[in-house]
Amino acid sequence: ERYRRYLTNLRRRKAHTLSAAEEKLLASAGEMSQAPDTIYGSLADADLKFPDAVDAKGNKHPLTQGTFVSLEESSDRVLRQSAYENLYGTLASFKTTTAAILNAQNKQLKFFAEARKYDTAFEASLDATNVPTSVYLIETVHQNMDKMHRYVRLRKKLLGVDELHFYDVYTPLLKDVDKHIPYEQAKQTVYDALAPLGDDYRTILKNGFDHRWIDVYQNEGAYSAGTVVHPYVLLNYTGTLDSQFTLAHEMGHALHSYLSNKHQNPIDADYVIFVAEVASTCNEALLMEYLLGKTTDKKE
């Protein structure tokens, strides 16, 4: 009974499970097949360096993939444009290399999909997490693009620009609403906002806050790793509203992992990407409702 879920899932993929000799061959190629991902990670996260962004007054601002969004949130359009052009210009200078990495990744996915008798790499990818292709509703996005177009028109109008560029999409729509949120205040706000999840949940949350589960300040990318001891969360906290939401989001992942590891058998404790974002997005929704219910400032 303990292994029912595991065995049922294993049998579900019977048609795509090969002979022992074939499985051994695919397994031996597994580490080698990760080369495109490994190469891209080394390039993007370690080797790539970006020129400083320059603001309207000529001041320089360090530009990394970690600082990019906070620079794009600036009210200084010159700074935003500089950050955008320096980041994407640097990436574009490696376009032949990145195209080769992407091509290698596509070939890898195609090879394993065909070897396991799937019609497409798309089907193989979703089947690994037991998600039918019919659920992946790209067409729903296409049918609702009018909402995005309306939003972009509103953003263009409120920012007072003749032409909207990518470097205009992160900056606040309204002036004078930005405020710095100290990390301690952000923790308290997130703690208060998650009251609907109950005292047991918030006790674990506070334990994470108080016992160094979180690496707070800038590294390369925000991330939660659900280790068995307890989860570890890497943030790039910059004191913005976006940073506060990221804290709520990543702690959603952290507590999901913590509770799953605590209450599930090890063979069942892991969870697939299709449900991974539910806990984190739920936390963001609760934080949004809390902030909206608390403020009396129309602009805010």
Catalytic positions, written as ranges: 250
Q: At what angle do helices 273-294 and 241-263 cross, to 10 degrees?
A: 130
Specify the 3-state DSSP secondary structure of 225. Answer: strand
Given a contact cutoff of 8 angstroms between Cβ atoms, the answer to whether 256 and 271 are in contact is yes
Residue 192, CA distances (Å) to 206, 256, 262, 284, 288 in order = 11, 18, 24, 13, 12
The string of DSSP codes covering 112-168 is: HHHHTT-S-HHHHHHHTTT--GGG--HHHHHHTHHHHHHHHHHHHHHHT-SS--GGG
Alpha carbon distance 222, 243 (integer Å)? 10
What is the b/e burial string over 187-220, where b = at least 16 CB atoms within 10 angstroms of the residue's CB?
Answer: bebbeebbeebeeeebebbeebbeeebbebebee
Alpha carbon distance 179, 209 (integer Å)? 22
178 dihedral zone (left: phi>0; alpha: psi -120 to 50; beta): beta
Which residues, 6+ apart, have CB-to-CB distance to 223 below 8 Å? 233, 234, 250
Q: In DSSP terms, which residues pair with 61 in a beta bridge?
A: 53
Q: In DSSP terms, which residues pair with 215 in a beta bridge?
A: 234
